[in-house]
């Protein structure tokens, strides 16, 4: 793999993230409708702009994996260092995407280890990378790790160490919806809702507690059980759910990051 291919992987990951941002209507999450809302206009534009700031760091992660050649402890430590530097760059560009960076960084590195590998093999390789501790990680607990410890939720690290099960479920949901004639937007919404329906989202646990998490999971399941967003009943339930979450101010950000990971894997292979 060449540096050009490292950059291609990074750009594919950024495209997946911006594709997630462009999808609408996303219950409780930023989407293009926010451009018409004066209060959130800056936030939505900043997210779209700062997503592009991930590219150099993701390319560096791909290069590190290509150079190392195996999912070693040393690679995990190097990816952690690159990730923290990238977080700083993203913050300067407007902020956001921390969860997406974690998922996409591991998946990009895993894809670089085995160019041309299938999506599930990439997820399995990412699991091997994530199984190693980051020896240079800050000692202080993060908000996500604190919430995980308090409620027993897997959190972002647990999701990666399990081989990204929600990313794989989203891929299955995409394939199922497409096979039944759903539009691409409907298929993607169904995939996002599939993640939301079962994920123990630490962002939600922090802002809304266990009750809020269960409320969001139930709302997502209701849409899927109605037949998904391509059906009249599902579309109606989606509208109600979207209004409810925006009114409450609850944002399932963890689901958004993992969904972006699914879109990245769905776009593989990115090289010939």
| Helix or strand holding residue 26 (H, E) | none
Q: Which of 48-52, 63-67, 98-102 has the lowest mean pLDDT?
A: 48-52
Dist CA 189 CA 139 (whole Å):
37
Quick one: pLDDT at residue 100?
Answer: 87
Percent of the chain topping pLDDT 90: 71
Assessment of whether the complete model's pTM goes beyond 0.85: yes
Dist CA 128 CA 110 (whole Å):
9
For the chain, the structural domain boundaries read 3-137+153-267
Q: Which of 29-33, 75-79, 99-103 has the lowest mean pLDDT?
A: 29-33
Instruction: Tell which phi-psi region holds residue 218, choosing left (phi > 0), alpha (psi between -120 and 50) or beta.
Output: alpha
* pLDDT 10s digits, 127-180: 999 999 988 877 777 777 788 888 788 888 899 999 999 999 999 999 999 999
Instruction: pLDDT band for 215, please (50, 70, 90 cuts).
Output: very high
**Sign, CA torsion 69/72/75/79:** positive
C-alpha distances in angstroms, 249 versus 23, 110, 197, 243? Answer: 19, 35, 18, 10
Is the CATH code 3.30.70.100 the one for domain 3-137+153-267?
no
Quick one: pLDDT at residue 220?
Answer: 98
Question: Is there a contact between 79 and 111 (Cβ–Cβ < 8 Å)?
Answer: no
* Residue that is written with structure tokens 């997210």 in the block: 47
Mean pLDDT across 6-22: 94
């Amino acid at each position: 793999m060449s540096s050009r291919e490292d950059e291609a992987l990074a750009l594919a990951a950024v495209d997946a993230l911006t594709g997630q941002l462009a999808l609408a209507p996303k219950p409780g999450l930023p989407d293009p409708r926010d451009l018409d809302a004066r209060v959130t206009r800056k936030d939505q534009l900043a997210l779209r702009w700062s997503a592009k700031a991930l590219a150099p760091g993701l390319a560096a992660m791909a290069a590190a994996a290509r150079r190392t050649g195996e999912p070693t402890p040393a690679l995990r430590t190097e990816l952690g260092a690159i990730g923290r530097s990238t977080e700083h760059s993203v913050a300067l560009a407007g902020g956001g995407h921390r969860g997406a960076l974690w998922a996409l960084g591991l998946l990009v590195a895993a894809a670089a280890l085995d160019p041309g590998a299938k999506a599930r093999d990439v997820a399995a390789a990412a699991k091997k990378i994530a199984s190693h501790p980051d020896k240079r990680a800050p000692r202080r607990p993060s908000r996500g790790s604190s919430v995980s410890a308090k409620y027993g939720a897997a959190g972002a690290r647990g999701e990666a160490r399990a081989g990204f099960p929600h990313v794989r479920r989203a891929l299955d949901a995409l394939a199922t919806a497409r096979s039944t004639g759903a539009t691409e937007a409907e298929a993607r919404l169904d995939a996002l809702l599939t993640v939301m329906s079962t994920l123990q989202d630490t962002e939600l646990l922090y802002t809304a507690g266990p009750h809020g998490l269960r409320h969001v999971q139930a709302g997502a399941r209701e849409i899927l059980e109605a037949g998904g967003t391509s059906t009249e009943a599902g579309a109606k339930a989606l509208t109600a759910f979207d209004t409810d979450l925006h009114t409450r101010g609850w944002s399932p950000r963890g689901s958004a990051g993992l969904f972006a990971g699914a879109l990245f894997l769905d776009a593989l292979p990115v090289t010939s």
